[in-house]
Structure 1
Amino acid sequence: MASLTLTNVRPWDAAPVDVMITDGAISDVVAAGTADTSGETVDGRGLLALPGFVNAHAHVDKSWWGQPWVSYGGEATTQGRIAHERAERDKYGIPSVDGATAVLREFLRHGTTATRTHVDVDLGIGLRGIDNVRAAAAALDGAVEVEIVAFPQDGVVRRPGVLDLLDQAAAAGASNIGGIDPASIDRDPVAQLDGLFEIAERRGVGIDIHLHDGGELGAFQMELVIDRTRRAGLHGRVTIAHGFALGELPAQRQGELLDALGEVGISWTTVAPVPSAPLPWRDMCEAGMPLGLGTDGIRDLWSPYGDGDMLRTAQRFAQLHRLRADDDLTRAVGLASTAGGDFVHRTGHDLAPGARADIVLLDAENVPDALVRTPRRRLVMAGGRIVAGDGELVL
């Protein structure tokens, strides 16, 4: 069995330990200096150790990362961005294996070792984007574990044939199927949700719905999703992404929705965009709702921003929610790491025995210091293999 010992690291700024790794998983964690170091060892130099980051909401299929600069164009609305992307994507070779590989490599360089990524499925590209993302993950030999959401960016029922493509994607192994703004995109929320939940029930997959609509329109669609989740018995299998409306509602309305969302086990992902309203994140966690962070798109035809660094996303979340106390700053980092395990079907994603040996080392005094400075990743280990050092890939 392949074994390695990572010596003298500070997990979550606790006392120094040695981490023993066997066949890609953490086999034991002991006080620093007490592990058997007769085999292969890596000196952790007393650095801060965190679990590999988990990007719970990505779009790795449609980035122009590594290509010449693409100027922003089109209208700055959801419908406008969809139309612009459809008109321009072929010009930039989107989707492609090389493009997805470039994004996944950036993920690894910054310490992200698992992701749930939405991959566009539509009448123009069929399932080609999913094939490309799988090929990109294979090219990195599984260093980044990738869970796929077949995503109908251009709508579900307004484009005849998209539901069939989602069904095909689920049959071919996609872990989740997506939806998008059932009211404002398809203008028929019941039809969209009926179609998605029928596939999910029959194929045994999850549902991950983008919900941008704000205010009471967004709240109304949340109620529809809650009702369908309850009736379908998909407790713990449904995720709402963005869900901007939740942060915009009065406290009493928020509380009513949180009780219902928690009851049926609906999880939530956010990319913490700065102009959005803060989420009642503490209440969400207390209601038992899994909450994960993601980058959204990275240098794509929706936005030129992004670099794949989940620590920066956690920092933005902390700034948006005006977090200052050390405990809260540490919890924000936890949302980008341990909490993300729920979104990629991992249990116990942490620096503990039994977990996959995904470890990030940083030269930081403590976790809050790492969050506010986002220092270079001194070492990134994925499945027990060193894949990056001093901010550069060695894979």
Structure 2
Amino acid sequence: MSTDLLLRDIRPWGGPSVDILIVGDRIASLAPGIDAPEARVVDGRGLVAVPGFVNAHAHLDKSWLGRPWVSYGGEATTEGRIAHERAHRDELGIPSVATTTALLREMLRHGTTVYRTHVDVDLGVGLRGIADVREAVAGFDGAIEAEIVAFPQDGVLRRPGVIDLLDQAAAEGADHLGGLDPAGIDRDPVAHLDAIFAIAERRGVGLDIHLHDGGELGAFEYDLIIERTRALSLGGRVNIAHGFALGEVGAARQARLIDGLADARVSLTTVAPLRAAPLPLDALASAGVAVGLGTDGIRDLWGPFGDGDMLRLATRLAQLAGWRHDVDLEHAVHIATSGGAPFVGRPVHDLVEGARADIVLLDAENVPDALVRAPRRELVVAGGRVVVSDGELVD
């Protein structure tokens, strides 16, 4: 029996109506009136189609979503959040396959099909969180894919043994290594960056570095990252997450940093934070610097907010950027979908022949309308299979 799938009468990116034939997990063709008598047919009803959402900065190991409410506690600083999490994660059973699975189910319902996820690696949890996340992702039988960042949330140099854990994670298949505020947390940005860059070069993995440090301190750390990326020819394999300093420094300094990022091919990811200077998205796009969007933590010990809806997050990104014109609103959705391809190891993630069949259907007039209303996901196809229908998971 054929497992081919034919989506009839859908409007990719809000354009003219076409049919999409899916063979296996790939888009085989897009055209009006496709004849595929053996395929299962789904009526797209003229709905707007966009690629599956790409969560380019997730923490799939941390969430208590789906469990009883957890009240916010601890101190509202990076150090305070780390300490609070370390003190209470065990009592919540985090990390675990069950908690990660619950989070992935909710985000799949919202149309997110692929992730770059940071997973804590430290002296308490070891590499267990990575194993749990991998098992949870595997439980979706190919509908979801994820790249793993081995993330030293508790610091690198200040916790003897963490460098060895990161090296082990890379040796055992982690796609990227993380870093965390080389100056603000480890107090030695040169040694911190030298250590993780050395592992990345030796093991052939990428780097994805949390950088909350602001102002000129953060800008200095940008310089160090750019220099090492150039020196080790790691262009296209290094990312700065958050990177608040870029939005805080003066115009001339900002322009030099953007030029450096573009020249070294260092990317950025943002979580569209409400209480930080927005990244200069227009200038980054003009320079060709890749920018990804992610949810950060969702209902975890760092904060109670988040529902995993990447389309709502793209709406916030557009609002923070001051975007109102249609072309800009469409760009926000591109960042949350096809623009996320380089963050998850895909040469292309779009509604084109040969791409993986990750497709979201929305009842909207066009893409800008979908962005500002964030309607329910009428249908989600993930890896060639219908996984959401009428806004609910198909089990």
Structure-2-length-normalised TM-score: 0.98
Cα distance in 2 for partners of 1:156, 1:38 equals 55
Describe the SS at the equivalent of 1:49.
strand
> In the alignment, residue 158 of structure 2 is paired with which amino acid?
R
Q: Is the 8 A contact 2:363 2:375 kept in 1?
A: yes
Cα distance in 2 for partners of 1:335, 1:288 equals 13
Q: Deviation digits for residues 213-244 of structure 1, max 9, x if unmatched?
A: 11001000000001111111101110000001
Match of 1:257? 257
Match of 2:12? 11
Cα distance in 2 for partners of 1:120, 1:391 equals 32
Q: Does 1:54 align with 2:49?
A: no
> In the alignment, residue 345 of structure 2 is paired with which amino acid?
H
Cα distance in 2 for partners of 1:369, 1:81 equals 37
| Offset at residue 257 of structure 1 (A) | 0.5
Question: Alignment identity in percent?
Answer: 66
Match of 1:111? 111
Cα distance in 2 for partners of 1:118, 1:55 equals 11
Tell which deviates more after alignment, 304-313 or 36-45: 36-45
Q: Deviation digits for residues 160-213 of structure 1, max 9, x if unmatched?
A: 000000001001100000000000100011111011011000000000000001
Match of 2:31? 30
Unaligned runs of 5+ in 2: none
Match of 2:189? 189
Describe the SS at the equivalent of 1:131.
helix
> In the alignment, residue 284 of structure 2 is paired with which amino acid?
M
| Offset at residue 142 of structure 1 (A) | 2.1
Describe the SS at the equivalent of 1:272.
coil
Match of 1:180? 180
Cα distance in 2 for partners of 1:136, 1:142 equals 11
Cα distance in 2 for partners of 1:185, 1:38 equals 59
Instruction: Trace 1:141-156 onto structure 2 (pairs within 5 A).
Output: 141-156=141-156
Cα distance in 2 for partners of 1:374, 1:79 equals 35
Cα distance in 1 for partners of 2:324, 2:391 equals 27
| Offset at residue 2 of structure 1 (A) | 3.3
Cα distance in 2 for partners of 1:231, 1:35 equals 53
Q: Deviation digits for residues 15-55 of structure 1, max 9, x if unmatched?
A: 00000111110011002x34434532111011010000000
Q: Is the 8 A contact 2:4 2:38 kept in 1?
A: no
Describe the SS at the equivalent of 1:279.
coil
Output the aligned Cα RMSD. Answer: 0.9
Q: Deviation digits for residues 43-87 of structure 1, max 9, x if unmatched?
A: 101101000000000001011011100000000001100010000
Q: Does 1:136 align with 2:136?
A: yes
> In the alignment, residue 29 of structure 1 is paired with which amino acid?
L
Describe the SS at the equivalent of 1:220.
helix
Match of 2:64? 64
Cα distance in 1 for partners of 2:168, 2:3 equals 38
Match of 1:232? 232
Cα distance in 2 for partners of 1:134, 1:201 equals 24
Structure-1-length-normalised TM-score: 0.98
> In the alignment, residue 184 of structure 2 is paired with which amino acid?
S
Match of 2:21? 20
Instruction: Trace 1:1-395 onto structure 2 (pairs within 5 A).
Output: 2-31=3-32, 33-395=33-395
Q: Deviation digits for residues 256-314 of structure 1, max 9, x if unmatched?
A: 01111100100110000112112111111222211110000000000100011100110
Q: Is the 8 A contact 2:3 2:39 kept in 1?
A: no
Cα distance in 2 for partners of 1:112, 1:302 equals 22
> In the alignment, residue 146 of structure 2 is paired with which amino acid?
V
Q: Deviation digits for residues 90-149 of structure 1, max 9, x if unmatched?
A: 110111110111111111100000000000000000000000000100111121101100
Cα distance in 2 for partners of 1:246, 1:253 equals 9
> In the alignment, residue 343 of structure 1 is paired with which amino acid?
F
Q: Is the 8 A contact 2:49 2:360 kept in 1?
A: yes
The number of residues matched between the two structures is: 394
Cα distance in 2 for partners of 1:146, 1:74 equals 31
Cα distance in 2 for partners of 1:390, 1:151 equals 36
| Offset at residue 317 of structure 1 (A) | 0.3
> In the alignment, residue 310 of structure 1 is paired with which amino acid?
M
Q: Is the 8 A contact 1:5 1:37 kept in 2?
A: no
Cα distance in 2 for partners of 1:146, 1:104 equals 11
Unaligned runs of 5+ in 1: none
Cα distance in 2 for partners of 1:390, 1:299 equals 25
